[in-house]
Structure 1
Amino acid sequence: MNKKSKYGKMSRLLSAVMAAVTLSSGFAALSVSADDRAVGVVLYVSPSGDDSAAGTLGAPLRTLEGARDAVRELRRDGDPEGGITVYLREGVYYQPQTLELTEEDSATETCPITYAAYNGESVTVTGGYSLDPSKFTETGDDVKARLVDKKAREKVLAYDLKAEGLDYSYIATNLTGGTRIDSRLYYDGLRGWTGRYPNDDRAAYAYVQFGEDFTGDSFIDPTGRVAEWSKDSIAGARMYGNFNIDYETSNGKVTGYDPETNRITFASETVTKSNGRFFYYNVIEEIDSVGEYYIDENTGMLYFYAPDNYRDIDIRFAVCRDSVINAKVDYYTFDGLTIECGVDNNMLLEGNGNTVQNCLIRDCTDAGIRFVGSGTTIFNNELYHIGGTAVSGRMPNTVYMTHSGTLIDNNLIHDYAEIYRTYNAGIGIGEVAPGYDGGYGMTVTHNEIYNGPHLALSYLCRDALFEYNYIHNVCYEAGDAGAVYDGTWLSNGMVFRNNVIKDINNKFNKFMNPRGYYCDDSGGGKSVYSNIIVNVDGTGIATSGQDNDIHDNILIYAGKEDGKSSIYTDSRSYYKLPGAGMSGWTTSAIFNVSSLNGLWAWLMHPGLNPAYGVEQWAYRYPWTMLLKTTNVYDREDRFVSYAYGDSKVRQNMIYPSSHNIFTTPESRELIYFRDNYFFDSYSEFGFADANGGDYTVADNAPIFELYPGFKPCDFANVGRREVAADS
């Protein structure tokens, strides 16, 4: 599991990659060699260069803006044959403002443009201002006295941001207007947190519950901590957590504190419940662990609990208040770069035929890479310490049923959704927005995703292929969620095969344990087969829609905390009688034609399914003809007798035998269940070394004697490939 891979140079032609596969790997951002890349015109950039220079190896340009402008000048009389490559020499490229690449800069298929690290040199493009370690000073006695933790009083240092001319004002909202946590300090590549209580410790309970006499907007402080804060700190204290339910995050602000009654009042953006959980942040008194900090907005002083080696590491304060790179272009490649410290996204790509490869993407508040368009390739990158979704994508409408050409392959994604902690996946594709209905066609392969509080993969794209991905240790704060999550009819035609999902556990659970693969809200047309799912609190596979085929999966200790149901089926796609209860999800406003949750509303909505009814749709999804041919809601129908189309749950191997498959009366009648086997002995699987993490099924395993046609997961090829160097 801890085998280290060495990443070498790669060809731009991904099909030429010959690779071995490992489940877990180290990573270094490497570029192609300058000698190996077939290029037309070459420009060079160096932090020690000059933007008035010629842009040659001996006289490089200095900035990315200088390189952009030089490329514009080169193309003024026409595109050069073979494209343009901008080589970045080793060093740090400081971007206090966004690098803007506009339509004027857009490339073409015959003249692509590449920004690449030169010969594998270490290149960092950062929106973070480097703090000079010699300018950290001892904290004054007045501030020391406020710190609750006495040990911290000798560790917390001060830095004058105002004297550096930095904009340190608190950023209360994100670009779309929502409340946000203002997290802008990074040290040695790690995220700093504004003084919080409790600390971010997954080994402990890192939250507070509302406590006694909860009224909806006030409660008795169960911790006693607020009494130790100054009035100014109370006025600036903020709250974040799950005030209502596990799949909805909440932002709040302390609005008052009565020391006589120990009662806190607060304002929240969401509904609150007495068992809601949260943490306080932006409180100077609570700086008590390495990496915590506080900014005094009145003086511009930064107070930072620095690590002992702070003089020897990079400490950066993010100042680029939008994306570090905003590229509204076609046919661009970014290769071998470290891109970091965006106050919102690190990269925003809007266009077609763009590639990000061999890069380190880290330390940002929102998405690591956000793309809009077709033909996007995200290959062989590492993304970590991401505030929101690591890779977020939006593809064009599906009216012509044309594959988007999106490829997300061989990436290492971890420690994401650190700020926006729900519905921000490691890879989240198929965002629905005006003009975008989820998209058609994408391939997600050989990625490793771990350390996320909620989803690893989420999508609303049709005809998506997910295979050879290794997903583990996610959903650790999630309820009614899955390591892999989809829902509704927008994501039909999906294939999920030869993946491993492991160790999906939530110690903070309040509402429904997290699942392995979760097909929610009547999601139909999925094929889920030949996967291995191990050690999941909730059910291993959950299905609720039409024409789903669940087969040849191995499930081990799935459903541990969820009635021991390794596979879960329900009947939410039926029309129901109002008032039938949760077993049917059946009020007149739920899952019927009058609601966007309804079967017909999803299928026939012109904005969500613009291709419905056209010839291409009929050929690709003929099973939709099995559905009821009227959109009249018949309250007398208990269910539509053919609503499940051709759903099957067959030939799945489950251990231990005390686990089960959950069904409803409707799903038992209409889903085809056959040849699912429950093992009494672990050895019957015939794994090579399950205790050591090798779930390869031997050719002579007992499982094949029971079911000769069983097709186990191709475990040897799961996970990231070791990329071969070009010859």
Structure 2
Amino acid sequence: MRKRKFELKRTAAAFLAVVTMALTAAAVPSAAADAKGVELYVSPSGDDSAEGTVSAPLRTLEGARNAVRKLREGGGLEGGITVYLREGVYYQPQTFEFTSADSGSEDCPITYSSYNGESVTITGGVTLDPDKFTAPSDEIKGRLQSDDAKANVVAYDLGADGVDTSAIRTTLGGSVRIDSRLFVDGERAWPGRFPNYVVRDASYKYFDTPSGRTFVDIDNRVKNWKSVDGAMMYGMFGTDWVDSYAYVTGYNASTNTVTISGSENPSKSGRYFFYNVLEEVDTVCEYYLDNETGILYLYAPENYKSVPIRFAVCRNYVMTAQVDYYTFDGITFECGVDSLILLNGNHNTFKNCIIRNCSESGLDFVGDGNVFYNNELSYIGGGGISGEMSNTAEMIHSQTVIDNNLIHDYAELHRVYNAAIGIGQVKPGHDGGFGVTVSHNEIYNGPHLALSYLCRDALFEYNYIHDVCYEAGDAGAVYDGTWISNGMVFRNNIIKDIHSSYSRDSRIESFLNPLGYYCDDSGAGKHVYSNLFINIDGAAIATSGQDNNIHDNIIISANKNAGGSASISADSRNYYKFPNDSVNGWENITVYNPGSPNGLWVWFYNTAFNPSFGTEKWAFSYPWTMLVKTTNVYDIYDLFVPYAYGDSKVRQNALYPSTAGIGATKEFSNHVETRDNVAFGVISDFGFADYEGGNYAVSDDANIYTALPGFKPCDAANVGRRAAG
């Protein structure tokens, strides 16, 4: 915590230095800067040949960047440089790039900021002219299936505006994706689909009578289409946690069967939706793009002529910044065909920004000392904030802070394993790194995970997570695992209303109960305490690894679909993953395989992945890991040396209802200290100030303290976002 506070203070000091810059400082590139720094001004109505003053602003981001480069050539800019963007839209049909040559320094930080809170938008989308919308042809109207659609669908000739309307059905990496590039008033428009998209609803259909690459169209939709050309499908065709794509390649009217070609064949437990079909444009903000003619057909909202409607054209990222000591403040970044922002550098800050409207990632970062404060991310196709910090033998804390952000409506197109905040990837040198603070964020409207990480020494506190994982089963609102993410602290968070949209169906596997905090694949070294879990379909907490301490949590109505009997779930996977004579099957894949995302042992012993393992500092930080390799022979009934679980504890948790308890395997129960977990029969025993009204502060005279002396409940009054400061 001391390091986090120091970093925030240093960021605040840099910000104060920026805002106190002299208003009279010369702004032309040839001018000398005084100790208070330099200001440049940019306006969409400016001129890049101008001086860059408030009365003679530059016009483009490129013009501002070039002016900053010239200013820095002279040196001596100890006060830093602030580029003020005046109100308006800055159109970026290609990626706007900052290179390492543009980096700031501790003595000369560089800030790009909206001026006095004016509305500033950097967009990779072309804005449609409201006066160019026309009525569709009679032939198009005839294909629409409802009278409302016939009356409200309008046409726009993107091709006439010079926009490339070729289909983009794959990511830059080559995998199939939903081609969704239209945004209406900052929200995603969907390419004509069935079933229609309803957030937090089961907007899928189950396959009926699947056989090979075919299935029966029990809803009788395809028979109404003029053609299957261009029609596509998305869903989870076989496995709940693997997304699938397919092209519709044929339809047999006599048997009412659909033929597809895709990543997986249909299965009885699979689900899907059709998209990119003109005939399925039947609700507000659905659309169809004729890639050949370039004409867009939109089911328009009533106010469509008075709100911005943009079509994304910028590929890759809208902005990339390979820089240090930069601040972006109060700017809207939007409309990427692929992703929005890539930050590669150290000691940078994004604050008070709106980041929205793309098909892939919102904000990707690599580096240390970066701060992401008070931003809103929404209508993101993939993950929200995703990043990696340095992984070095010195185990240096990255001082990365992700604080006070609002993230919602993310993973809209890639709906599996894309988190609102995701830290770390499995690759040498940057597998998550050391040290991140994730605090005071609010996250909702995500079909799968809210938080995921593969990093060490992570602190998650005061976050409010609700209404996520509604399309998930074998998943959790917070998801981690393996032995690589040690030293994690998860405290004073509220996780609420984690429900699957799918009722139980005899065809569906049992993975329909998303969890609150899910420590998967023998994850170890976790400290989960003083959190509040309310209304969770699955267990509030799932654990299986070594040295996991779970205590002082309040859990209300968890594991609802299993009768509420296991508020905390614990299994034996870590017990059976220890090296033994069996190195076959799943154990071998997950434990020993260096290519596996669950390669527990390999990450420890491969210095490319884990350069600090075995050092003195590692031994002090994670002492339990020093015993792992030396304890491959043990007595399964030995209660004195429980090697498989180390010093794990599950104790002093407060549960509701009275039937709630700990669902643990025999091996876990034999080796883990599990005691003083109390189930209460009435919610009033918790002493909440106003449970129904959402005030979860616990009164000092609550019965919970009598039953559990010394209990430390969630500091609910401070959970969630705070007023920006």
**TM-score over 0.5 for the alignment?**
yes
**Equivalent position of 2:217 in the other structure:** 221
1:61-210 equivalent positions in 2, closer than 5 A: 61-202=58-199, 205-210=202-207
**Equivalent position of 1:313 in the other structure:** 307
Letter in 2 for 1:361: I
Compared with structure 1, are the counterparts of its residues 60 and 204 closer, same or farther at alpha carbon in structure 2 (3 Å cutoff)?
closer
After TM superposition, give the deviation of residue 12 of structure 1 in Å: 12
**Equivalent position of 1:27 in the other structure:** none
**Equivalent position of 1:289 in the other structure:** 283
**TM-score with structure 1 setting the length:** 0.92
After TM superposition, give the deviation of residue 204 of structure 1 in Å: 5.4
8 A Cα contact 2:215 2:257, kept in partner: yes
Letter in 1 for 2:148: K
8 A Cα contact 1:504 1:515, kept in partner: yes
**Equivalent position of 1:441 in the other structure:** 435
Secondary structure of the 1:723 match is coil
8 A Cα contact 1:336 1:357, kept in partner: yes
Query: Relative to structure 2, which stretch is displaced further, 538-547 or 252-261?
Result: 252-261
Structure 1 residues 605-634: Cα deviation after superposition (integer angstroms, max 9, x where no partner): 333322111121111111223324177xx7
Compared with structure 1, are the counterparts of its residues 711 and 637 closer, same or farther at alpha carbon in structure 2 (3 Å cutoff)?
closer
Structure 1 residues 269-325: Cα deviation after superposition (integer angstroms, max 9, x where no partner): 146422200100000111001111111111110111111111111111111112111
**Equivalent position of 2:604 in the other structure:** 603
RMSD in angstroms over aligned alpha carbons?
A: 2.5
Kindly indicate whether residue 641 of structure 2 is the aligned counterpart of residue 644 of structure 1.
no
Structure 2 distance, partners of 1:15, 1:34, is 14
**Equivalent position of 1:46 in the other structure:** 43
Structure 1 residues 238-265: Cα deviation after superposition (integer angstroms, max 9, x where no partner): 1001111221111111111111221111
Structure 2 distance, partners of 1:206, 1:313, is 27
Structure 1 residues 502-530: Cα deviation after superposition (integer angstroms, max 9, x where no partner): 00000226424100000000100000000
**Equivalent position of 1:337 in the other structure:** 331
8 A Cα contact 2:91 2:122, kept in partner: yes
Compared with structure 1, are the counterparts of its residues 591 and 685 closer, same or farther at alpha carbon in structure 2 (3 Å cutoff)?
same
Secondary structure of the 1:92 match is strand
**Equivalent position of 2:592 in the other structure:** 593
**Equivalent position of 1:697 in the other structure:** 698
Structure 2 distance, partners of 1:543, 1:430, is 20
**Equivalent position of 1:678 in the other structure:** 679
Query: Relative to structure 2, which stretch is displaced further, 538-547 or 432-441?
Result: 432-441
Structure 2 distance, partners of 1:393, 1:358, is 19
**Equivalent position of 2:226 in the other structure:** 230
Structure 2 distance, partners of 1:700, 1:679, is 16
Q: Structure 1: state its 5+ residue gaps.
A: 1-10, 19-30
8 A Cα contact 1:577 1:638, kept in partner: no
Structure 2 distance, partners of 1:200, 1:658, is 37
8 A Cα contact 1:577 1:587, kept in partner: no
Compared with structure 1, are the counterparts of its residues 125 and 343 closer, same or farther at alpha carbon in structure 2 (3 Å cutoff)?
same
After TM superposition, give the deviation of residue 604 of structure 1 in Å: 2.1
**Equivalent position of 1:558 in the other structure:** 558
After TM superposition, give the deviation of residue 63 of structure 1 in Å: 0.3
Compared with structure 1, are the counterparts of its residues 415 and 614 closer, same or farther at alpha carbon in structure 2 (3 Å cutoff)?
same
8 A Cα contact 1:627 1:645, kept in partner: no
After TM superposition, give the deviation of residue 397 of structure 1 in Å: 1.7
After TM superposition, give the deviation of residue 434 of structure 1 in Å: 4.2
Compared with structure 1, are the counterparts of its residues 224 and 681 closer, same or farther at alpha carbon in structure 2 (3 Å cutoff)?
same
Compared with structure 1, are the counterparts of its residues 273 and 348 closer, same or farther at alpha carbon in structure 2 (3 Å cutoff)?
same
8 A Cα contact 2:21 2:79, kept in partner: no
Structure 1 residues 340-359: Cα deviation after superposition (integer angstroms, max 9, x where no partner): 10111111101111110011
Secondary structure of the 2:722 match is strand
**Equivalent position of 2:241 in the other structure:** 247
**Equivalent position of 2:390 in the other structure:** 396
8 A Cα contact 1:532 1:555, kept in partner: yes
8 A Cα contact 2:637 2:670, kept in partner: no
After TM superposition, give the deviation of residue 562 of structure 1 in Å: 3.5
8 A Cα contact 1:394 1:432, kept in partner: no
8 A Cα contact 1:387 1:419, kept in partner: yes
Secondary structure of the 2:229 match is helix
**Equivalent position of 2:31 in the other structure:** none
8 A Cα contact 1:685 1:701, kept in partner: yes
Structure 2 distance, partners of 1:163, 1:120, is 36
8 A Cα contact 1:704 1:710, kept in partner: yes
Structure 1 distance, partners of 2:379, 2:587, is 44
Q: Percent identity?
A: 59
**Equivalent position of 1:411 in the other structure:** 405
Structure 1 residues 534-566: Cα deviation after superposition (integer angstroms, max 9, x where no partner): 000000000111100000000000110135210
Letter in 2 for 1:224: N
Give aligned pairs, total. 695
Structure 1 residues 368-427: Cα deviation after superposition (integer angstroms, max 9, x where no partner): 111111111100111111111111111122322001111000011111111111111111
8 A Cα contact 2:200 2:447, kept in partner: no
Structure 1 residues 9-33: Cα deviation after superposition (integer angstroms, max 9, x where no partner): xx99844999xxxxxxxxxxxx999
After TM superposition, give the deviation of residue 637 of structure 1 in Å: 7.5
Secondary structure of the 2:576 match is coil
1:366-381 equivalent positions in 2, closer than 5 A: 366-381=360-375
Compared with structure 1, are the counterparts of its residues 502 and 338 closer, same or farther at alpha carbon in structure 2 (3 Å cutoff)?
same
1:358-369 equivalent positions in 2, closer than 5 A: 358-369=352-363
Secondary structure of the 2:603 match is helix
Structure 1 distance, partners of 2:146, 2:353, is 39
**Equivalent position of 1:256 in the other structure:** 250
Compared with structure 1, are the counterparts of its residues 225 and 272 closer, same or farther at alpha carbon in structure 2 (3 Å cutoff)?
closer
8 A Cα contact 1:358 1:380, kept in partner: yes
Compared with structure 1, are the counterparts of its residues 550 and 586 closer, same or farther at alpha carbon in structure 2 (3 Å cutoff)?
farther
Structure 1 distance, partners of 2:602, 2:174, is 29
8 A Cα contact 2:344 2:366, kept in partner: yes
8 A Cα contact 1:576 1:638, kept in partner: no
Structure 2 distance, partners of 1:134, 1:567, is 58
**Equivalent position of 2:720 in the other structure:** 719
Query: Relative to structure 2, which stretch is displaced further, 367-376 or 567-576?
Result: 567-576
Structure with the bigger RCO (C-alpha within 8 Å, sep 6+) is 1
8 A Cα contact 1:579 1:587, kept in partner: no
**Equivalent position of 2:540 in the other structure:** 540
Structure 2 distance, partners of 1:275, 1:141, is 40
Secondary structure of the 2:692 match is helix
Q: Structure 2: state its 5+ residue gaps.
A: 23-35
Secondary structure of the 2:65 match is helix
User: Which residue, 450, 453, 474 being the options, matches 2:447?
Assistant: 453
**TM-score with structure 2 setting the length:** 0.92
Compared with structure 1, are the counterparts of its residues 267 and 708 closer, same or farther at alpha carbon in structure 2 (3 Å cutoff)?
same
Structure 1 distance, partners of 2:587, 2:181, is 47
Secondary structure of the 2:624 match is helix
After TM superposition, give the deviation of residue 652 of structure 1 in Å: 0.1
8 A Cα contact 1:576 1:637, kept in partner: no
After TM superposition, give the deviation of residue 203 of structure 1 in Å: 6.9
Structure 1 distance, partners of 2:21, 2:693, is 41
8 A Cα contact 1:32 1:120, kept in partner: no
Structure 2 distance, partners of 1:215, 1:147, is 30
**Equivalent position of 1:6 in the other structure:** none
Structure 1 residues 625-667: Cα deviation after superposition (integer angstroms, max 9, x where no partner): 3324177xx7998999412110000000000011221111110
8 A Cα contact 2:484 2:600, kept in partner: no
